Amino acid sequence: MDPEIIEEVVKTFGRLHEDGLIYRAEKLVNYCTRCGTAYSELEVEHEEREDKLYTIDYGLLKVATTRPETMLGDTAVAVNPKDKRYKNLIGKSVVVPLINREIPIVGDEMVDMEFGTGAVKITPAHDPNDWEVGVKHKLEVITVIGTNGKMTDKAGEYAGLSVSAAREKVIDDLGNKLVEVKPYVHSVGVCYRCHRVIEPLPIKQFFIKVKPLADKALAALNSKETVILGAGRDKILRHWLLNLRDWNISRQIVWGIRIPVWYTDEKKLDYVVSETSPGEGYIQETDTFDTWFSSGQWPVVTLKTNKPEDFEAYYPTNIMETAYDILPFWVMRMMLLSIYLTGKSPFKYVYLHGLVRDEQGRKMSKSIGNAINPLELCTKYGTDSLRMALVMSTTAGQDSNTGENKVRGMRNFGNKIWNAGRFIAEKQAEDMVMTGEKDGEFTKKLSEVTNEVTKLLDQMKVGLASETVYNEFWHWFCDEGIEMNKQKKVSDAMLKEGYKKMLALLHPFVPFVTEAIWQEMFVDEGLLISYSWPK
């Protein structure tokens, strides 16, 4: 990354800190023990898995859990205060099996009375809901799983075991305290990179207070300063903005921009924000920024670090185009940080494209063997053929089906464009048509096609625009227009002018074919790419 951009990213962190929007705290974060780093909640994927639900006897009551190994860090049992079965037990104590730790029974409406026995063990160090209960009831935090994915010394005789091995041993050691085991299907958080199960762990990290930033992003959506194009995607973005937790921007990886923070004792929460060392005895934070923290500043920093006038000329931009699957990762982050830095949303429209699926609508994967190599298709059928196949009939925010048959069909369309041009360019003198009785009708239809394609592009209905120009060129211009010229009902001059306009309308979708033809037939007009849009 350019030094100038790194400098701007670091300045943003300093500004956020000065405004009281940055803090360091030990909180429960999503940690991947394989990648060795924490992630924000947006970077955790969820998979439905079949595990087991274990019911364990805690004496006064029985609790249900999918993670018996974490009972070694239990500091309470929780029941819903509205649950008549357990209401009289709130305030009493039970003893955790295996470790004989006495813990309180607390009442909390977080508990789902329909889950398991209606009583749940509380391990603040290893579950987000338990952490919230622990904060509310001021419970002790006992970390029994480490960043290496193994049980810590706090786990006693289980220390050093992997999580899975500890689970097996705990189950064996429980004996008659293990009341029931049954299959249980539930959603499990996994690392978006390696798909290992995420471990919630309490770690000191840097966080951004996102609510003030999210409120401004929501205001931009409400006022239509920014419009999300893609069915239902605006609603999804609003849901994220309304439910965001403070953003953990610390990453324990070596690549990235190092956080400009210095300590005299990193075990404490006190720190100094500075791009360089504040003095003797200070050590710099080793963590780096979440990549989305720098990427989220892209609309601002890329313009500010180029020509001085670029930012004033091009910010905010008109259209941002990207895939819908990174709407919360990137688009939302750009809105949060860009509005904070400039007071303006970074773009007017966000056009979201979907996933490219195979011809049967299935997601492409190695296991199915249905993935296609775009470079091979380009070599075989031409780049324009693939481009048109991908664009045609797509809708913002929706997936599209593409396969070799569709690309081959677009190759045939490219041949149709060439053949039409060849017919016009190679007409002999004796076949010339000076005037035609259908010239007026032809001109009117050409104007209608131009207006319709222009309107669809203005509305950013790119798929419909490509489909319209495809159908009109093939079925109207070629099947009807050229045939009328052969019948001397449309003049050569009118047909050539129509072809010229059709090339311009086709150019956004098949740029190489149309430019090559243009340079043969209309070379005096300059490049087609810089030619005025037809009216």
pLDDT in the model for residue 429 = 65
pLDDT in the model for residue 430 = 66
Residue with tokens 């504040």: 278
Q: What is the mean predicted confidence (pLDDT) over 247-261?
A: 94
Domain boundaries, the chain: 3-27+202-353, 48-189, 376-530
pLDDT in the model for residue 104 = 98
- Categorize the per-residue pLDDT at 268 as very low, low, confident or very high, splitting at 50, 70 and 90: confident
- Categorize the per-residue pLDDT at 308 as very low, low, confident or very high, splitting at 50, 70 and 90: confident
Are 120 and 64 in contact by the 8 Å Cβ rule? The answer is yes
pLDDT in the model for residue 352 = 93
pLDDT in the model for residue 184 = 95
What's the rounded Cα separation, in Å, for the pair 512 and 514? 6
pLDDT digits (tens, 9 = 90+) for 340-367: 999 999 999 999 998 888 888 888 877 7
Question: Is the preceding peptide bond at 81 cis, omega within 30 degrees of 0?
Answer: no
pLDDT digits (tens, 9 = 90+) for 116-137: 999 999 999 999 999 999 999 9
User: Is residue 91 left, alpha or beta, with left meaning phi > 0 and alpha meaning psi from -120 to 50?
Assistant: left
Are 353 and 322 in contact by the 8 Å Cβ rule? The answer is yes
What's the rounded Cα separation, in Å, for the pair 276 and 101? 48
The pTM of the full predicted model, rounded to 2 decimals, is 0.84
DSSP 91-143: T-EEEETTTTEEEEEEE-TTS-TTSTTSEEEE-TTS-HHHHHHHHHHT-----
Instruction: Give me the residues paired with residue 317 across strands.
Output: 347
Are 319 and 460 in contact by the 8 Å Cβ rule? The answer is yes
What's the rounded Cα separation, in Å, for the pair 27 and 39? 12
What's the rounded Cα separation, in Å, for the pair 469 and 534? 13
- Closest Cα partner for 188 from 199, 172, 175, 204? 199
Are 270 and 283 in contact by the 8 Å Cβ rule? The answer is no
Give the amino acid at 46.
Answer: H
Q: What is the mean predicted confidence (pLDDT) over 110-121?
A: 95
Residue with tokens 């338990």: 130
pLDDT at 389 exceeding the cut of 70: yes
Sequence-ordered list of residues with C-beta below 8 angstroms from that of 316, at least 6 positions apart, any chain: 299, 338, 342, 344, 345, 346, 347, 348
- Closest Cα partner for 45 from 192, 157, 145? 192
Give the amino acid at 347.
Answer: F
Are 43 and 70 in contact by the 8 Å Cβ rule? The answer is no
Distance of CA 302 to the CA centre of its chain: 21
E strands present in 233-310: 247-248, 250-251, 261-263, 272-273, 283-284, 288-289
Are 200 and 36 in contact by the 8 Å Cβ rule? The answer is no
pLDDT digits (tens, 9 = 90+) for 24-63: 999 999 999 999 999 988 889 999 999 999 999 999 999 9
Sequence-ordered list of residues with C-beta below 8 angstroms from that of 378, at least 6 positions apart, any chain: 385, 386
| Average pLDDT in the chain | 94
Domain covering 48-189 in this structure, CATH number: 3.90.740.10
What's the rounded Cα separation, in Å, for the pair 235 and 221? 10
pLDDT in the model for residue 427 = 80
pLDDT in the model for residue 306 = 84
pLDDT in the model for residue 402 = 87
E strands present in 41-99: 44-57, 62-65, 76-79, 93-96
pLDDT digits (tens, 9 = 90+) for 407-465: 999 999 999 999 999 999 988 666 777 888 999 999 999 999 999 999 999 999 999 99
Q: What is the topology classification, in CATH, of domain 3-27+202-353?
A: Rossmann fold (3.40.50)
Query: Three-class SS of residue 210?
Result: coil
- Categorize the per-residue pLDDT at 398 as very low, low, confident or very high, splitting at 50, 70 and 90: confident
Burial 336-370 (b: 16+ CB within 10 A, else e): bbbbbbeeebbbeebbbbbebbbeeeeeeeeeeee
User: What homologous superfamily does CATH list for 376-530?
Assistant: Isoleucyl-tRNA Synthetase; Domain 1 (1.10.730.10)
pLDDT digits (tens, 9 = 90+) for 202-244: 999 999 999 999 999 999 999 999 999 988 999 999 999 999 9
